[in-house]
Structure 1
């Protein structure tokens, strides 16, 4: 049949599913690279004497500079649910990018610690909003076979930004002025600008469009996502649109109140909240924070004190982490979310115990072989984190929440993540100075507890449609049935079965 005329979706959005998926991967890459550059730039700046001497840094001010971005993320939490839900996922990314660029300019132009910190706070607000907007957009556009690896790559490309930051820091260290640290700060804008340039080539989330009464637009998006070039595509897309609409309507009837209140209502949502909080804690306290922000301190404890060697190691770690994280992204639908997380947790726990012991015994050694042994443990630890936690960071919190709670659930996850990041930023520097090698053993010990909690609480979601995942949490009344019926209206234990979609 004749190809249909696009009335809502821009002609810049490709109909070829392969090309569109490539563009969605690009969106994931640049948004995640922004986060990675932002986090890793502080690691690189801390190595540069021009940065530490300009601000006359102490343990307290180092912690403040590192913590500022987390302050911004926390301050932005009240915005990260209403903006994507009210104005759309794409517009939210645009707003976030403008905020981020403003913060980057302030950081690069900083004349004192106060100005630097304000810039970092604004960057934290912008990147937090971007992350909570981009991940749901991708999740709601992608089919299950692509969702796991694209959203896995989303946060795996954190290391692309980290690598870019490390390379720029390595190249700028010989600049004989404050531009040695201002240039790496300023170039944070690169991923943000690329993200904005990609937005015209991707559609808005069909689920957001349906939820906001724009059903014809949503149907057209669904047709384009399937590679539609004919009127038949619109017919098939309309059927899928009705299924999604039916599910969203049941969600709304089941959870009619504000999303923030509904997050704590009923056993299914309380289970989601438990997982969101647990995973938010894990992203910051399993030991990764040390490598991301205090690599210089670890290397110094290991006997590697030369600035050039430290910057070289930083670049290599970013390359290694990225390669492992991408591999982990593609294995999520083979190994499974829960098992892959457990494998990584065990690897990190064992490595931290060994790292503490090695630094205790060989930390003051000048022998290259012993120093390399400690470096090998750092690489194994970072590989374990990149293999398991990194690909899950944008995927798991997004997919375990149904549509109405998706933005709010992601915001809760980010709030816990940022709050712990803030605490760790202030305390880590003192803890590593006061405890030395013992700190790694303490960190490994609380990882044992976290591993046990993952075993008992994490839910497997591989290969499922977003609406089907609700079944795993007991939301059978939302997904199944020929019409919504409140769980309160049914008898004890009566649930509608999977597969009875309208």
Structure 2
């Protein structure tokens, strides 16, 4: 389809499917980098003496300043379903990027704790709105065979922002004034500005367009995605239309009510709830936000050395997360996550034991071994949970409840993050090495839930994943005939759509 023939899709959107795929990857990178920059920046600021002295940090104020973005994230979850479904995926990303720019300006210009917290709250709102809308846009637009990899890359690029932030913090540690923490705060706006620059070149989600009465617009988008293959474009469009019609007939109620209606949706909810709770509670949160405290307990007290380790750790996590993203479509979502969970539990137990034995000693080998197991833990996390964070929730939820499910997922993620922001300040001070043992022990519960409830979605089109939950679903082969499948996944006949 030549750009001159377009009636709905902007001429700025490329005609090439491969170019569009690259642009969608760029959208993934810049939106995910926003979240990564924010968390790593706070990790670095919590190490900087200039920041700690300016805000007179203690356990409570450190928790408050760190928790600000999580509070914003909790607020954002109440709009995460309504805004993308009402206005579209692209406008939601636009709104989030604008809020992100304002947040960076306020935080960078902060004169007191209150002003800094307001900037953090707005930053959290921006991050979660884009973090909900961007992966949904990508998942609903990209071809199924690329979906797992690209959605995995989405959150893996969290470490792109994280790496940049840790490098910025490392370079500003020698600035004697408040610019040591103001510069990283202001630079938070860069990913948001890049997101604004990319948006004109990507289309709206074809599934959102069909759901909102714009099938011809959706056809033009799908024609680009499927390289002007008329039969494939028509087949996919008809499958989307048929599935959405079926979902509307089967689930006419409010999507929030549908989340708790029927066994298949309840199983989806169990996965969403367990996943939302474990993202920040596996042990990674304390490494992401309180690495300085962990390293101090391990025997490394020099701020510059701690910041150097932070940079290296983020490089390591980024490489492992990208590799893990590609492996999702090779090993499979469920198997890869289960094995990495076993690795996380084992390495956290060992890291706790090493901290107890060598944390207050001068044994260099013991201290290095502790750091090595912290790196291994983050490696297992980055290879599984990081890419799964944006790949899995959009896949397992049907269109009608997708954004509602993601909102629940993000609400639990942000709520636990906010809770941990306060608790970890005290836990690390009071429990020390025992924290590792406690955390690793309740990680076993999450492992059991994963084993019994999580399903495999590798390589399955979004409209067909419902069968894996044992629910009746309907697909359309493009000829107007809707195929019904019973709870065992057996074809039980066709019906004219």
Both structures adopt the same fold (TM-score exceeding 0.5): yes
TM-aligned CA deviation for residue 319 of structure 1: 0.2
Partner in structure 2 of residue 446 of structure 1: 442
Tell me, what secondary structure is at the counterpart of 1:80?
coil
2:250 corresponds in structure 1 to 254
The CA deviation at 1:235 is 5.7
- Compute the displacement of 1:165 (Å): 0.2
Q: Does 1:361 align with 2:346?
A: no
Change (3 A) 1:176 1:456: same
Q: Which structure 2 residue ranges, 5 or more long, are not aligned?
A: none
Distance in 1, matches of 2:19 and 2:473, equals 37
Deviations 1:403-430 (A, max 9, x none): 1111111111000101111111110110
Residue matched to 1:222: 222
Summarize deviations over 1:245-296 as a string: whole Å, max 9, x none: 0000001111111111111111111110000000011101100001100100
Distance 1:498 1:33 in 2: 47
Distance in 2 (alpha carbons) for counterparts of 1:162 and 1:70: 17
- In the alignment, structure 1 segments of 5+ residues that lack a partner are none
Report the CA distance between 1:227 and its aligned residue.
2.0
1:475 match: 471
**Preserved contact between residue 482 and residue 494 of structure 2 (Cα < 8 Å):** no
Q: Aligned in 2, Cα 1:456/1:239: closer, same or farther, shift over 3 Å? A: closer
Contact 1:148 1:329 in 2 (8 A): yes
Offset at 1:77? 1.4
* Alignment CA distance shift 1:197-1:304 (3 Å): same
In structure 2, distance between residues paired with 1:438 and 1:240: 53
Distance 1:135-1:2 versus aligned 2 partners, 3 A rule:
closer
Aligned-partner SS, 2:110? coil
Secondary structure at 2:115's aligned position in 1? helix
1:36-435 correspondence to structure 2 within 5 Å: 36-228=36-228, 233-234=229-230, 236-435=232-431
User: How has the CA–CA distance of structure 1 residues 364 and 253 changed in structure 2, closer, same or farther, with 3 Å as cutoff?
Assistant: same
Specify the SS of the correspondent of 1:392. helix
Q: Distance in 1 between matches of 2:241 and 2:121?
A: 39
* In structure 2, distance between residues paired with 1:166 and 1:97: 22
1:200 CA drift (Å): 1.0
Q: For 1:10, what is the secondary structure of its paired residue?
A: coil
Give TM-score, length-normalised by structure 2.
0.96
CA distance in 2, matches of 1:358, 1:234: 61
Supply the distance in 2 between the matched residues of 1:412 and 1:501 (Cα, whole angstroms).
36
Shift of 1:2: 8.4
For each residue in 1:164-214, what CA deviation from the matched residue of structure 2 results, as whole angstroms up to 9, or x when unmatched? Answer: 000000111111210000000000111111011111111110000000000
Instruction: State the secondary structure of the residue aligned to 2:176.
Output: coil
Query: Deviation of residue 368 (structure 1)?
Result: 2.2
RMSD: 2.1
Which residue matches 2:460? Answer: 464
Q: 1:501 to 1:127 in 2, by over 3 A?
A: farther
- Report if the CA contact (8 A) 1:477-1:495 is conserved: no
- Once the 2 structures are TM-superposed, how far is the Cα of residue 75 of structure 1 from its aligned partner? 1.1
- Closer, same or farther in 2 for the Cα pair 1:493/1:204, shift >3 Å? closer
Whole-Å separation in 2 of the counterparts to 1:56 and 1:498: 70
Deviation at 1:316, TM superposition (A): 0.2
Residue-pair matches, total:
495
What's the TM-score, normalizing by structure 1? 0.95
